[in-house]
Amino acid sequence: MDAVRNPYTPGTGRKPSALVGRDEVLETWRVALERAERGKTDQPLVLYGLRGVGKTVLLTQLRHDAEKRDWWVVQVEAGADVGLRDLLGEGLYEPLSEIARQGLGRRALRALKTALSFKASYDAGGTWTFGVDLSGASGGGADSGVLRTDLKRIVKDVSLGAREEGVGLAILVDEAQDLSSDELTTLSMVAQAAAQDDWPVLFAVAGLPSLPQTLSEAKSYTERFHYSHIERLSHTDARAAFARPAQEEGAGWSDQALDYVVAESGRYPYFIQQFGQSSWDAAEGPVIEIADARVGVARGQNHLDSGFFRARWDRTTASEKRYLRAMCPGGDTGIGTGEVASRLGKNLNALGPTRAGLIHKGLAYAPDHGIIAFTVPGMESFIGRQPE
């Protein structure tokens, strides 16, 4: 079929043609936005789950939903050796620069001046120009060098400036498990302060399955945050994720082909998009038949092996690769660290640094004490396809 009209969009964070199975999270966010506009601030929304389940797509949709209401929105991704201070500072520049104009209210001008001081707290040589006279404005002081003090001040001033403009501030952080312990503690404290004083700011963070535990270790009151476990789609939603985009392009799937790709995808959104795209390209149409689906899955698996899986496998050291191999079978659902050590013929404690390295790189997590599991669905099969 026509590749130009192919409706499937594999790739990290790319919105699918049919965003299905996430209505509960989207409704929770909508209610939180409306409550904040009425002066009632809800606790942060925490999205957690394996890679490939669509957390980034969902977080981006939350951003779009806030932007549709004209909120000031910051979406950042933790990691890449950039601290939370820099991430949020640079993230705030775009929405603030878009609203900067003459005639702003007192609170909005204060927000701009505080943002300038926050910029100075991490970039002494950098300057921002909002094109607005701030000489008579109050504000500033977000440059003490103490993260929790500075972050609290800028979130308060910017959110209250947003309220003066009739909207709110939304802060969304992806890959939140990569934040340092101090950064997570600070973010939690600021979110708690915002909820207590009803600042018009909403937080949404997304990360790996370890994120809830990491947050609870940062601050006990994070247990009151709104947690949403993002899992693979239900069978019905997975069928819809394959079928609906094709229908919108005047095409379709045979029942046999649809059953096959749903099963092969494991109902993981990332795999659904890849297998859907490859099957579409393999078919003459207008119906994708079982033979097309088989070719599509084979080609799609090759794409996943050379990209989705390979990118993670190649980041590991030789000792980490041996540890990952020793997690098979059992790593997809979770295996005892003692069993892994036994398979390697090593002392459990001696493998601690290797295990910690894999967790730090986001390839594994500890679902329970003494258990280790892959963060990437299907990793066990991929490892089985790799030469020793």
pLDDT surpassing 70 at residue 180: yes
Of 141, 142, 158, 138, the residue nearest 150 (C-alpha): 142
Distance of CA 61 to the CA centre of its chain: 11
Least reliable range by pLDDT among 131-140, 258-267, 369-378: 131-140
Share of the chain above pLDDT 90, in %: 85
Q: Look over the chain and give the mean of its residue pLDDT values, rounded to a whole number.
A: 94
Cβ–Cβ under 8 Å, residues 47 and 58: yes
Q: What is the pLDDT of residues 73-110, one digit of tens each?
A: 999 999 868 899 999 999 999 999 988 876 788 999 99
Structure tokens at 354: 């290797």
Distance of CA 99 to the CA centre of its chain: 27
Is the four-CA dihedral 341, 342, 346, 350 of positive or negative sign? positive
pLDDT surpassing 70 at residue 370: yes
Q: How far apart are CA 339 and CA 256, in angstroms?
A: 40
What value does the mean pLDDT take over residues 357-382?
95
DSSP class of 305: I
What value does the mean pLDDT take over residues 302-314?
95
Domains recognised in the chain with CATH numbers:
23-229 (3.40.50.300), 235-313 (1.10.8), 318-384 (1.10.10.10)
Structure tokens at 63: 């951003």
Strands 335-336 and 371-374, bridge-based pairing: antiparallel
Residue with structure tokens 């038949």? 289
Residue with structure tokens 């977080």? 59
Residue with structure tokens 């290797």? 354
pLDDT of res. 102:
65
pTM: 0.93
What value does the mean pLDDT take over residues 373-386?
96
Q: How far apart are CA 89 and CA 31, in angstroms?
A: 27
End-to-end CA distance of the chain: 39
